[in-house]
Structure 1
Amino acid sequence: MFRIPKKCLIVAALVVAGYLPAQAQSEGGSNRWSLQKSIDHALSNNLQLKLSALNTEVSRINASEARNELLPSLNANASQNFNFGRSIDPFENTFVNQTIRSNSFSLSSNVTLFSGLQLQNSIRQARYNQQASQADLQRAQDDMVLNLITAYMQILFNDELLTTSKLVLDNTREQLTRTQKLYKAGSVPETNVLEIEAQIASDELAVLNAQNNKDIAELNLMQLLDIQDKKNFEIEKPNLQDPDQSVINFDAESVYTTAQMTKPEIRAADLRIKSAMKGVDVARGAYYPRLTLNGSISSGYSSSRLIPVTTNTFMQEVGQVNVDGTNYPITAPVTIPVYGTYAFSKQFSDNISQAISLNLTIPIFNKMQARYAVSRSMLGLKEAELNSKIVRNELRKRIEQAYADAQASQKKFIAAKKQLAAFEKTYRNAEIRYANGIMNNTDFSVSKNNFTKAQSDIIQAKYDYIFKLKILDYYQDKPLTF
């Protein structure tokens, strides 16, 4: 059975999508799926891709959060208190012996003016992480489409084998008809008829196996697409032309040079190096002083506070005067205030206070936490650099393997074409000789089996070569069309 290598990457799949027709429904009403339609459906509905998209959304939120750290904070506070017995009035700061209800309200703001550029470097780090997450999502989409193209081409291959098997069966049945006529005419023995009938049974089994293989391949694709209606599933069949058999006029190194600039896994690895470098800068920022600006406005209310609302005036003895031995009182008018309720709105307005301050924090000793943070971030940078090298090495290996596979597939396809032409010529000649009773059934069966195998080999070689050529096109960022 034809197997498409798992190592091949996605957009090769998109290539095949280019030659598929865009028809959605056949006249019989069955749901026909082109490769492009399958890709669009999977990219929109696959649950694993949705999980990857959630990770990308989380990184976007993190980047937005880092940017907003530059903005001032603003907080409001309100409280209501009840004091019983002897207590201190919160606004008069005097002792009172009564039940007091008080309210306080405040609005405060804080903004960081300088923190060793930690905020700015955190923003850049979060942006790089977001871009790397987007590249990871693209890679996940590439892997999904790779699975789709593998399953899709497996169906096409098995369908070709099914068609070939049916043609072989029809041809064998025609031979049986001719041989029966020859047997009735006495030209061949009955053994020839029996042997062809046995061959028909063998060809029918081959058709059944080919049909089963096609059904299994379709089931694999339907499972990738998460399609429930398996009865009306049908794919569109392209008309694949024979691939170019000319010598591949480029080398693996040039393909690798191009791939480094286009592949999402390389982009993600490089972005994570930049992120790790900014992580080092963030950690080093803890060595620098921190300057913040703070401001606040507050007010409040206390039920114990009273306000003069009017005055009372009366005559009060202020002293005496002695006249001829007699004391006479001296009186004077005295005015005293009369207190009333201090209204909430008036008291709130009168109690407003504002404050502004600059706070400078200079790190002197922080239990070596800053040094440890820098050391950890440096290790993270080295890890990111090693991962980048690993990703590049893996990409180089895949390209070198793809290049070698393409060359081998080219040679195999050319050889398969020559083999098919030779075995077909031999089979046609054997068919004539067998029909005229010149060749025995054993030799004819050998010739027929060789021709049947050659037909299967050319189908496999054709699909394999087409796929591997498009893989190289993908790595070179070429337009993937037929």
Structure 2
Amino acid sequence: MITKATCWPLLPLVAALGLTGCTLQPNYQRPTLPVDTHYDQNTPVGNVADLPWQNFFNDATMRQLIDLSLQNNRDLRVAALNVEQARASVQIDRAALLPSINATASQTSAHEPANLYNTQSTGAVTYHELNAGLGVTSWELDFWGRLRSLRDQAQETYLSTEATERATRISLISQVASAWLTLCSDNDLLHLAEQTVQSQQKSYDLTKISYNGGVSSDQDLAQAESTVRSAEADVASYTRQVRQDVDALRLLAGTDLPATLLKNATLDSNWQFPQTPAGLPSDLLTRRPDIIAAEHTLKAANANIGAARAAFFPNITLTASGGSTSSSLGHLLEGGTGAWSFAPSISLPIFDGGVNQANLDIAKIEKRIEIANYEKAIQTAFKDVNDALAGQDTWQSQLMALQKEVAANQRDYDYSDLRYKQGVDNYLNVLVAQRSLYTAQQALIAAHLGQLNQKITLYEALGGGWKS
């Protein structure tokens, strides 16, 4: 019987050897900011990322919908699982830096018949062998930093995935808020169309009475009916749109919506979003999760160059085991039974057909690609913020102008209707004034939606709320 056990004094030595060496990664330098140092408009200084979404969105229904989506949205769930997957990959690459120690145990029995090797009879022989021990198998000594570069690449990929999950979270919050506002807007447009149908139906009924009395013409009656049918078509259209808006919200929330949802769906509410400080474009580098993710991806590509460079150098691996041998378990720890093996190996690339050089060229090109992607992410963010800032004053001005236009159209309609009833004007003037008023009211609702969405867009563009 033969038994083997590990020789422990070898492990500290090989561990020290594996942790020494250099790294061939290029020194990382953040690319120069590819945009202006200031936005087109002056804005307050501050960090919107520190403003939790619960403090930004003050509407109770909107907060309820956002909370449902953060708990149940499938895209966000997938993004979170991607983070867990990336974290596990980091652990795998970290483990490659340490020796893998395996415990083994086996027993072998063999029987050899007499006269197997010569003609002289030696009698049958039975052997029993028992093996047990620990050993290090094919552990790569990371002298050139290849494994550390791969570990760094995995770490940066994980951080990029984590930032992407935060970006998905911010986008989802904004999408839910905008979807709720869209539902409110379409619901208001539906109510406006229904009210218009009612008022125009009354006008049509009066015109028909006048027509039957010989006062109104066929043209007056046809024009009155035309306005009714047009408004009825709008009712059908907005009814369909409201249902689709509810379906879109249900998809974002990932679950059933509150039964009383439509009761509160209106833009005619006290919307008070807090002021959103924009700061400087350089602040976006640490605010916007998509930019943070792009920079981590760039760092991962930089680390990959180190691994590609290390492939040109010798690869040193180590196999070691140690222990003791004995004819029985009872004599395993007695003196004179020690045994060990130490088998280092080295592999030096001499000719590979240019594979290593091609891999290094690919790694360098990938870094240049990621630099361009990083710069594009900054430029996109800069544009998003500038566009949102441009809407702060213009939407308010447009909204005020449309409010005055609605008031003017209302007066025009009232005067035209009065003149028609007094027999001064024909019904065509009433019809034109009525359609103008209806169109202005629709534009006012659309502008109100645009103004509110602009505030949400600016909050998202600045990377707000991801620290909450």
| Same fold by TM-score greater than 0.5 | yes
Equivalent of residue 418 in structure 1, options 391, 401, 404: 404
Tell me if 1:385 matches 2:371.
Answer: yes
Tell me if 1:215 matches 2:254.
Answer: no
Kindly provide the CA deviation profile for residues 383-431 of structure 1, in whole angstroms up to 9, marking residues without a partner as x. 2212222333333444455455666645543432332222122122223
> What amino acid maps onto 2:404 in structure 1?
K
The residue number in structure 2 matching 1:19 is 58
| CA 1:83–1:157: 2 relative to 1, 3 Å | same
The residue number in structure 1 matching 2:195 is 167
Q: 1:145, CA displacement in angstroms?
A: 4.0
| CA 1:243–1:436: 2 relative to 1, 3 Å | farther
Query: Comparing 446-455 with 34-43, which one deviates more in the overlay?
Result: 34-43
The residue number in structure 2 matching 1:46 is 73
| Structure of greater relative contact order (alpha carbons < 8 Å, 6+ residues apart) | 2
Pairing 1:433-472 to 2, within 5 Å after superposition: 433-472=419-458
Kindly provide the CA deviation profile for residues 186-219 of structure 1, in whole angstroms up to 9, marking residues without a partner as x. 8955877786566445444433333233223223
| Contact 2:149 2:307 (8 Å CA) reproduced | yes
Pairing 1:228-267 to 2, within 5 Å after superposition: 234=262, 236-237=264-265, 239-240=268-269, 256-267=281-292
SS of equivalent to 1:439: coil
The residue number in structure 2 matching 1:270 is 295
| CA 1:476–1:188: 2 relative to 1, 3 Å | same
Structure 2: 5+ residue stretches without partners:
1-48, 115-121
| CA 1:472–1:355: 2 relative to 1, 3 Å | same
Kindly provide the CA deviation profile for residues 18-46 of structure 1, in whole angstroms up to 9, marking residues without a partner as x. 1312xxxxxxxxxxxx2333333233323
C-alpha root-mean-square deviation of aligned residues, in Å?
4.2
| CA 1:470–1:82: 2 relative to 1, 3 Å | closer
> What amino acid maps onto 1:275 in structure 2?
A
The residue number in structure 1 matching 2:46 is none
Q: 1:151, CA displacement in angstroms?
A: 3.1
> What amino acid maps onto 1:141 in structure 2?
R
Q: 1:116, CA displacement in angstroms?
A: 1.7
Tell me if 1:57 matches 2:84.
Answer: yes
Equivalent of residue 147 in structure 2, options 98, 119, 136: 119
The residue number in structure 1 matching 2:234 is 206
Query: Comparing 160-169 with 104-113, which one deviates more in the overlay?
Result: 104-113
Tell me if 1:76 matches 2:120.
Answer: no
Bigger strand share? 1
Identity of aligned residues (%): 19
Instruction: Give the structure-2-normalised TM-score.
Output: 0.71
Q: 1:230, CA displacement in angstroms?
A: 10
| CA 1:427–1:221: 2 relative to 1, 3 Å | same
Q: 1:458, CA displacement in angstroms?
A: 0.8
> What amino acid maps onto 1:152 in structure 2?
W
Tell me if 1:285 matches 2:291.
Answer: no
SS of equivalent to 1:84: strand
The residue number in structure 2 matching 1:102 is 129
The residue number in structure 1 matching 2:338 is 353
Structure 1: 5+ residue stretches without partners:
1-10, 22-33, 88-94, 303-343
Equivalent of residue 416 in structure 2, options 415, 426, 430: 430
| CA 1:408–1:297: 2 relative to 1, 3 Å | same
> What amino acid maps onto 1:20 in structure 2?
D
Equivalent of residue 141 in structure 1, options 169, 185, 188: 169
| CA 1:211–1:287: 2 relative to 1, 3 Å | closer
Distance 1:165 1:288 in 2: 76
Matched length: 403
| CA 1:249–1:421: 2 relative to 1, 3 Å | farther
SS of equivalent to 1:365: coil
Distance 1:198 1:278 in 2: 70
> What amino acid maps onto 1:353 in structure 2?
G
Equivalent of residue 365 in structure 1, options 341, 350, 358: 350
Instruction: Give the structure-1-normalised TM-score.
Output: 0.69
Distance 2:406 2:236 in 1: 24
| CA 1:235–1:277: 2 relative to 1, 3 Å | farther
Rg larger for: 1
> What amino acid maps onto 2:109 in structure 1?
F
Q: 1:357, CA displacement in angstroms?
A: 4.4
The residue number in structure 1 matching 2:20 is none
| Contact 1:118 1:282 (8 Å CA) reproduced | yes
| Contact 2:59 2:271 (8 Å CA) reproduced | no
